[in-house]
Every structure is written in C-alpha cells, then in structure tokens.
A = this chain, B = another copy of it.
Amino acid sequence: MSYGQQTQRVMQAVRSKISSRALEPGEKLPSIRGFASTMNVSPSTVVEAYDRLAAEGIIFARKGSGFYVSPKTQPFSVAEIGPLLDREIDPFWVSRQSLDTGMDMLKPGCGWMPADWMPNASLRKAIRNLSKADDHLLSDYASTRGAANLRRLQARQFAAEGIEVDPNQILLTGSATQSIDLVCRLLLRPGDKVLVSDPCYFNFQAILKAHQADIVSIPCTRTGVDFDEFEQAIIEHKPRFYISNSSLHNPTGVTLSPQSAHKILTIASRHDLILVEDDVFAEFLPETTPRLTALGGFDRVIRLGSFSKTLSASVRCGYIAARPDWIEALIDLQVATSFGGPSPIATELIHSCLSDGSYRKHMEALRRRLAKTRREVSANLAELGIQTWLMPEGGFYLWCSLPEGIDSADLARAALQENMVLAPGDVFSPTQSMGQFMRFNVSQMGNPITYEILADVMCNL
C-alpha cells in the first residue's frame, strides 16, 4: 500500500469513527502514536491524515493538546460512513471478540459459562412441552408487559426477599441490556450525566454513549463506593441516575453490605437521585443479601436483570421492576422500539425451567462448583503473579492485578494472536485507569493450556 493510500485509509477510519459516533463532536482524537500503532502505519502518516482532515474542517488542532472533532460536523453524506474494522480496545472489544470468535478459542474474557455448565436438561424438557402449547402462544405477540405467569413468579421471588411488588410493576424485556437501554430512553436526554463506578460493566459505557450521555465515575471500593465521593459527585455533576450491580459487581465481584446499601439510599434520597440496580448476578450469591430495592422499595430504585447468566443466554429475556407510573412509560417506549417485549416462547421456556424443581438443585450445585473453581483459578493465577483483588462471594468473575509492568491491553492483544480472548481492565474503566487489571471468567479456564499461554504471552511482552 502506498503512502498516499495509507493516509487515505487513516482519514477514512477517522471519518467512520465520527460518522458512527465512536468519536463525538468535541471529543479528542486518539494520540498520533497510539493511532499509528492501531492502524499499523507510521506516526507521520497519521500526522498527514489529521492535518488533511483539519484542512477539511472535520477536526481541529488545539495547541499542545492534540486534535479534536469539530464541534459542528455537517450531517454526514452516504459516502462518509466508512468501515469500523480497525478496532481499538474499546468497550466493544470484549463483546465482539467473545461473541464472534469460534468455539476453538479460549475465552477467559467472556461473560458467560460453558454450555455444559447450564441447565440444558431442564430446558430440553421445557422445549418438548412447548411443542404442545396453545396456538396463540406459538403465533401471537405478547401482551405489552410480557407473560403474566413469569411476572407472577418473579413477584413471588421478590416477596421472598421481602420486597412487595405487584406483577404489573414488572415489565419483561428482551434482555438486561435492553432493560438498561429502555431506562436510558425514559430518563436521559443528550448531554445528561450518569454516575457509574470505575471500573464498571463495559456495556454501561457503550449504552450511555449511544444515548449521548456523559459518564461521571467514582472509584469502586471493596465495599462499594466511598460515600463522600459518591455524594460529592452527585452535588457537583447532578447525574440523572446512578447505575451499578449491587450484588457481585461486574467486574470486581463486590457485593454491597446492608450498611452500604442503606447509606447509598440515604444519600440518593437527600439529593433526589434515581438508582438503577442491575441485578443480573444476584442468583449466584449463596444467600439473598438486602439490595437497594429490598431496603428502599421502588420509590427511587429501578431494578433490572435477566436469566442469561444462570439459565440460558440463547433464550432472550430480561425484566425491569419499577414504580407503576414509570412502567407505563417504559411500556410505551418498548412498544415503539421493539413492538413489545420478549418472545412468548422465551418467557414460556423460562417459566417452565424456573418452576421445575430441578432448577433449584442445579443452582445449588453450580454455586458449589463455582466456589471451588474460583479458589483453584485464583491459586493458578497467583502462581503467574496475577493477584485476585477481592475473592467474591459468588459468580464466575475474578478481578485481578497483573504483575508490575504488564499492561492488560497489550496482554489481551498478544493473547488474541494465540486464540485467547481476554477482558483487559481499561474496557471497564471510564477513566482508562485500569491498565494493570484483567477480568477472568473462572468457568472458562478449565483447560490447563490457558495458564501456559498466559505465561508465555506475558513473558514475551
């Protein structure tokens, strides 16, 4: 490829990022050196490309600080939307690598358990029963809230946690991610701020970006958050809501103590802040802990979750539990944007599995298996100098610090060459300050070669 072609390629990559909103107006462009390495060209090629784009008015230079996207770009024309294939390690990196690479890949970075850890026997039985279901269930749209039997079951589960909720306060959705997206549609407008912990689930960042919201973050501590920092951030930035996992926080594994939950609620109440509790890992805890909804009810807390982690990620279904008036507004939004919630077939399968006595036994065995696996993997990683930051009370993630001098993004890039998908710390970090951390999925690390490859790759960095 000639020098001119390379420059064109870099220019096109930047245009694509702007068109696709990977780069927003006013946002800083990647550094010359960094982007040169990403695009596998010389820094001078990037300088040339940036200069030409600046001449076109698409970006502009700020003295001594780098290049920025022009505040008001023209509406892009058809020709300007280019490929997004030159992918940096951004919040999508882990998702797309995990979802699209073959089954021959090792995936300590992915967010689910191996297929043979899941309750497939129970699901097969549910599918056989489904083939005899009523015509309406097989061919009609769902009601706008989703299947009533599953919502009643959920309400009973909430009741077991001491949370009183009417089944009509529960809205079934396509997934926990869609639940978050709907909540964002209800509560956010472009430019609004949202408070998250640092690190946090990488897709929070991707969704919030899709809504053109600004992220404000406070450091995640071993008990949740620092309350002074939490309150200070609320006062200073006036976020629309705080979103987090109260149980088995992704990626760190932190579970809020009842005291922490109470304190967070008290502060939120003082500043009229909405709390969004993403509860997707709660079922992995050996005991039910009082979460935000359990203490504070639904006055200002929205709870959401799914069945993807414990039952099946193939059967798509999530939920939102919230105040009745918010549920009404969320129903309209879901009708507008998905024409209703999850497939009646999906909700029927989930209801069958959850009502099946074998499911509870499966979960008990799974929790024991995961506890053992967490200890073993943590010990194996320690031998490589990779230290578990906090041993979680449940689930399949370990948040670990790497040996001194090893950058997790470098490690993830190198591991990919060896057919291994990792989840480097910075994809979880709004402040990009988690370069020394890596999230490991212990359920995906049963093959001893995993550790050999990790050792080799670290050695050669």
Contacts and interface: CB of A to CB of B under 8 A. Distances in A.
Contacts of A383: none
Given A81-B326, A115-B136, A92 B335 contact: yes
Given A78-B300, A115-B139, A336 B100 contact: no
Contact of A124 (B138, B337, B340): B138
A144 interface: yes
A379 interface: no
Given A136-B103, A325-B81, A185 B203 contact: no
Interface string A106-124: 0000001001101010011
Contacts of A88: none
B20 A329 contact: yes
A81 B343 contact: no
Nearest to A324: B83
B16 A325 contact: yes
A207 B127 CA distance: 34
Interface string A188-200: 0110100000000
Interface in A191-216: 192, 203, 206-207, 209-210, 212
A227 interface: no
A127 to B, nearest CB: 4
A95 B210 contact: no
A167 interface: no
A99 B336 contact: no
Interface centre among A85, A300, A345 (most CB of B within 10 A): A345
B82 A141 contact: no
A308 B344 CA distance: 13
A115 B140 contact: yes
Interface in A203-257: 203, 206-207, 209-210, 212, 238, 240
12 contacts: A75-B238, A77-B272, A92-B332, A100-B144, A100-B145, A127-B131, A127-B138, A128-B131, A174-B316, A176-B339, A206-B335, A345-B346
Interface of A: 16, 19-20, 22, 75, 77-78, 81-85, 91-92, 95-96, 99-100, 103, 112, 115-116, 118, 120, 123-124, 127-128, 130-132, 134-145, 174-178, 181, 185-186, 189-190, 192, 203, 206-207, 209-210, 212, 238, 240, 272, 274, 299-300, 308, 312-316, 323-326, 328-329, 331-333, 335-340, 342-346, 349
Given A85-B328, A124-B132, A178-B337, 20 more contacts: A19-B329, A78-B299, A81-B329, A83-B325, A83-B328, A84-B329, A84-B332, A99-B335, A99-B340, A112-B141, A124-B131, A141-B313, A175-B338, A181-B337, A203-B336, A206-B332, A206-B335, A314-B344, A345-B346, A345-B349
Closest 8 CB pairs of A and B: A206-B336, A118-B139, A115-B135, A177-B339, A20-B329, A127-B131, A84-B328, A181-B337
